[in-house]
Amino acid sequence: MSEFVNCNLLIIGGAEDKWGRSSVLKHAIDMCGGTEARIVVITTATQKPQEVGEEYRAVFTRLGVEFLDVLNIDNRIDANNDSVALRISGATGVFFTGGDQLRITSILGGTKTFKTLLDMYKKGVPMIGTSAGASAMSSTMIVDGDSNSPARKCTLGMSPGLGFLGNVIIDQHFEQRGRLGRLLVGVAQNPSILGIGIDEDTAIKVRSNASFEVVGTNCVTVVDGSTIQESNVSELNPKEVIALSNLTIHVLPSGFGFDLNKRTVVATKK
């Protein structure tokens, strides 16, 4: 999917507050139908599915969700099982946990489960991802790269994502792990896409009008490479520091949003 259509996404930067005010998770519940929500939590990304699944079960139950199904799809055989796809199909929202985003795409990609998820998404069922689950939401995702490092050529690993949101790359735990440099590399390599870095306990709510709203306690950084005037990324040797001029960066806290088509900041506070 390469266009901003049928978007009903909550993309969380990881480490969302689970036991306090839980403002980000409350947005997730509201999107899925409030206390009537039927949420499926998919733990494919994590190596500790039982532990992670039970934590989210406790959290969502505390927040008033009565129907929660925790589903660990651990291999492609399970992902192609009709009964697994059927368990997901009745949900009013799907939540992808953190872990390793490559597990999500390599296990689910092209399977009956993924086709069910894509069909649900096209019909408006919210897809929610945190940490690795956030990175997997886009058509192209970051799978590896240096944190707390200058922007250097050939230090970023990317792979196809789930494709729920096109023309962007998403990074998570953004400010907390010093990931601006690697997001700059991604945008420098393809200035037509937007780089979106989401801080912990912060999320973007992406809607069908091709805009998003920032929610949570920290910030979202948007890197727009379309304005770049000079770039040396194609001329460098591997691991050399890149040079960019006239790059556009927006830093947006709660109360602000962004129009993905117009590439403009919008205020969302009344």
- List CB contacts of 215: < 8 A, sequence separation 6 or more: 23, 24, 27, 202, 203, 204, 205, 254
Provide the pLDDT for residue 270.
56
9-256 fold: Rossmann fold (3.40.50)
Q: What per-residue confidence (pLDDT) applies to 268?
A: 83
Confidence of residue 2 (pLDDT cuts 50, 70, 90): very low
The span from the CA of 78 to the CA of 233, in Å, is 42
pLDDT mean over 128-138: 98
Q: Is 4's pLDDT higher than 50?
A: no
**Residues identified as active-site:** 131, 173, 200
Over residues 166-193, the mean pLDDT reads 97
Domain boundaries, the chain: 9-256
pLDDT at position 57: 98
Going by the DSSP 8-state scheme, the letter that residue 157 receives in this structure is: E
What pLDDT band is residue 208 in, cutting at 50, 70 and 90? confident
What is the rounded (10 degree) CA torsion for 130, 136, 140, 144?
A: 80
The pLDDT of residue 209 is 85
- The model's pTM is 0.96
Nearest to 184 by CA among 137, 238, 159, 221: 221
Q: Is the pLDDT of residue 6 over 70?
A: no
Query: Does the structure show a pLDDT above 60 at 139?
Result: yes
